[in-house]
Amino acid sequence: MSYDLIIVGNDEAAPELARLAVRSGLRTAVVLPESSHSSWLTGAALKHLVSELLADRTPARQHRLRRAAAPGRLLRLIARAIVRETSDLADSLRRQRVAVFHGQPRFTTSRNLMVSDSRWNRTFFLQARWYAIAVGTRPAARHRVSRTEPGQSLEDLFCSSVLPEFIRVLGGDAFGGGMAALLSLAGVSTQFLEREPHDAVMLELARSAGVDIAAREVDLDQSTAHRIGAPAEPHIVDCRRAVGFTRDLNLSAIGVEPDENGLLWCSRSFETWCPGVFGLGDVVGFSPETAIRAADQAERIHRHILRARSLRPTMFSRPGGPSSDTSRLHPDASAGQEPAAAR
């Protein structure tokens, strides 16, 4: 199956670039990874989950949630919310006539991508002239200088058998705020420290859920001192480091080496060291234009692709070329119509 552009990942900028590409006539596909969910996608799922729980805050519902509040149960709630968010994203892309595939992507060459779909126990191959890596990041604990320095990851928290009584979530923006809100609704005394919050909606939801929010740690310490019956020392969950989901993409096969945090180095046009392969969204660790918004990144990559296409037409966009009929190769995508959902 051949496309002009394949976008790998479920970060915020992925649907934006797909929309631009389809509108300009590029045959576009998006591969949604099965096991790696960007902080943006997880944050959106948490936002909807917390909103639903807040809308149904009857005493009986609150009692059931707090009695069953265990790390395993909360993980199942989060997993169901992510599945629903991913399904909504896929449906939105299909309505825009973007081919959608689910599975674990892995580069074999700079123009070929192998996708393993565990749902249907199959492996298939995709080809494209251009790729955009928009796998996003996950929150992780900062590297600690010493063992006495507080802070652990969410993975450590959910591996425990019971939830602590008092938790302080450090950073993570919408993701961290959503986790803090969910823990608070589960009966945990929760604080959220975010120095530069960007998601005002999630902050308001967290406040409604009973989370104590501050931009400085000293403010949270003072709040704790006035809270009767609260433990003196909170259990710290550190979400201040971003780690890219690039480890399983086999980027070494195309000459791209992420940094120690799994992030990509890109040019001003967000092209990586491999020509025709771009970084997009939070996974971009360094670029002269790293600070611009995700939508602006998508626009810049789109313009670069259109210029390259006008200078050198390729077999993937030529009428009557190999990409003109893919209906026999995979049930998820066919020429001239929306791809069927592989359920």
- Model confidence band, residue 235 (pLDDT cutoffs 50, 70, 90): confident
Q: What is the pLDDT of residue 317?
A: 43
The per-residue pLDDT for range 172-202, each reduced to its tens digit, is: 999 999 999 999 998 899 999 988 778 889 9
- Model confidence band, residue 144 (pLDDT cutoffs 50, 70, 90): low
Q: What is the pLDDT of residue 341?
A: 39
The per-residue pLDDT for range 67-90, each reduced to its tens digit, is: 666 888 888 899 999 999 999 999
Q: What is the C-alpha to C-alpha distance for residues 61 and 275, in angstroms, rounded to an integer?
A: 54
DSSP code, position 275: T
User: For residues 267 and 66, which has the higher predicted lDDT (pLDDT)?
Assistant: 267
- Model confidence band, residue 312 (pLDDT cutoffs 50, 70, 90): low
Helix (H) or strand (E) holding 86: helix 71-95
DSSP code, position 292: S
Q: What is the C-alpha to C-alpha distance for residues 149 and 132, in angstroms, rounded to an integer?
A: 38
- Model confidence band, residue 254 (pLDDT cutoffs 50, 70, 90): very high
- Output the average pLDDT for the chain: 84
DSSP per residue over 104-163, as a string? EEEEEETTEEEEEETTTTEEEEEEEEEEEE---EEEEPPPPSSTTS--B-HHHHHHSSS-
Report, as an integer, the average pLDDT of 112-141.
Answer: 95
- Residue of 39, 71, 10, 11 lying closest to 176 (CA atoms): 39
* DSSP-assigned beta bridge partners for residue 130: 5
Q: What is the C-alpha to C-alpha distance for residues 199 and 128, in angstroms, rounded to an integer?
A: 35
Q: What is the pLDDT of residue 335?
A: 37
Which residue is associated with the tokens 């993937």?
A: 316
Report, as an integer, the average pLDDT of 53-61.
Answer: 78
Q: What is the pLDDT of residue 147?
A: 47
Percent of the chain residues topping a pLDDT of 70: 79
Q: What is the C-alpha to C-alpha distance for residues 31 and 29, in angstroms, rounded to an integer?
A: 7
Q: What is the pLDDT of residue 152?
A: 67
Q: What is the pLDDT of residue 292?
A: 76
Q: What is the pLDDT of residue 262?
A: 96
Q: What is the pLDDT of residue 315?
A: 44
Report, as an integer, the average pLDDT of 3-10.
Answer: 98
Q: For the chain, which domains are there? A: 2-41+79-138+242-324 (3.50.50.60), 142-239 (3.50.50.60)
- Model confidence band, residue 44 (pLDDT cutoffs 50, 70, 90): very high
Indicate if the pLDDT at residue 127 is higher than 60.
yes
- Burial label for 315, CB within 10 Å (0-12, 13-18, 19+), is exposed
**3-class DSSP assignment, residue 94:** helix
Phi, psi at residue 198, to the nearest 5°? -115, -20
Indicate if the pLDDT at residue 325 is higher than 50.
no
Q: What is the pLDDT of residue 204?
A: 94
Six-digit token pair at 304?
């670069």
Q: How many CA atoms lie within 13 A of 198 on its CB side?
A: 9
Q: What is the C-alpha to C-alpha distance for residues 185 and 206, in angstroms, rounded to an integer?
A: 9
Q: What is the pLDDT of residue 56?
A: 79
Report, as an integer, the average pLDDT of 219-233.
Answer: 54
Indicate if the pLDDT at residue 232 is higher than 90.
no
Report, as an integer, the average pLDDT of 140-153.
Answer: 62
Q: What is the C-alpha to C-alpha distance for residues 106 and 117, in angstroms, rounded to an integer?
A: 12
Angle at CA 104, nearest 5°, toward 256 and 92? 105
Q: What is the C-alpha to C-alpha distance for residues 169 and 187, in angstroms, rounded to an integer?
A: 15
- Burial label for 52, CB within 10 Å (0-12, 13-18, 19+), is exposed
Phi, psi at residue 338, to the nearest 5°? -65, 140
C-beta of residue 215 within 8 angstroms of C-beta of residue 193? yes
- Residue of 129, 128, 131, 125 lying closest to 329 (CA atoms): 125
